[in-house]
A and B are shown apart, each in its own frame.
Chain A
Amino acid sequence: MVVGSVAAIGAGLAAIGAGIGIGQIGKGAVEGIARQPEAANEIRTNMIVAAALVEAVSLFAVVVALLGNG
């Protein structure tokens, strides 16, 4: 029970990190598109890929949380 709670806290912290990271990516992408609307498609593709990579890092944390939650 205690282990499960700790894992949940860990997953929550990971979500914070991913949220900040994806927020930064979104901010950068929107600024980039505002500055260079003609490059919008390329920026959007790269944004989605980067967001997916950041999201994966947070999911690593969830997996680590699962590791100790048998």
Chain B
Amino acid sequence: MLLEINPLVLPDPGLMIWSALAFAILLFVLGKFAWKPIMKAISEREQGINDSLATAEKVRAEMAQLKSDNEILLVQAREERAQILKEAKEIKDKMINDAKEQAKDAAGKIMADTQQAIENQKMAALIDLKNQVGNMVVEVSEKILRRELSNKPEQENYIKQLTNEIKLN
């Protein structure tokens, strides 16, 4: 060989045998007694943690659901209250309006009745007046007629006098 190989990079067969033995022992012992339970425990714990996390998440979602349900109820209640208040107010307004209306009608009716009564009284008075005027006319006519029958000139004077009287009236 042209070049001598550095003993550093020349694998020693004896050491290789010991290494292989060491690794084989380690692989067997750890594989049988350590890795199996450890890996199992770790994956079980991870499973457990995942499960707990999922459960927690589920509970949280349920809580959120409940909360939102409550909120919906609250909103509904609030709406209902507002509705009731609104209705009450409407009823109140309506009642007041009705009352006002009724009062107004009643007042109008009283006014109308009163007017009617006044009118009736007026009519009655007028009729009475007419009757009296008629009577007076009849009396005057009677007196005139009587005077005419006794004295002509006087009669005429009298008529003149009467007409003057009437005019003065």
Contact = CB atoms under 8 A, between A and B. Distances in A.
Most buried by A among B3, B4, B5, B9: B9
Nearest to A62: B9
The secondary-structure label for the interface of chain A is helix
Interface string A1-33: 001000000000000000000000000000000
B67 to A, nearest CB: 32
A32 to B, nearest CB: 30
A6 B9 CA distance: 18
> How many A residues are at the interface, by size bracket?
under 10
B150 interface: no
Contacts of A67: 3, 5-6, 9
The secondary-structure label for the interface of chain B is loop
Nearest to B8: A66
A60 to B, nearest CB: 11
Nearest to A7: B6
A3 B5 CA distance: 12
B9 A63 contact: yes
A68 B3 contact: yes
Contacts of B5: 67-68, 70
18 contacts: A3-B3, A63-B9, A66-B6, A66-B8, A66-B9, A67-B3, A67-B5, A67-B6, A67-B9, A68-B3, A68-B5, A69-B3, A69-B6, A70-B3, A70-B4, A70-B5, A70-B6, A70-B7
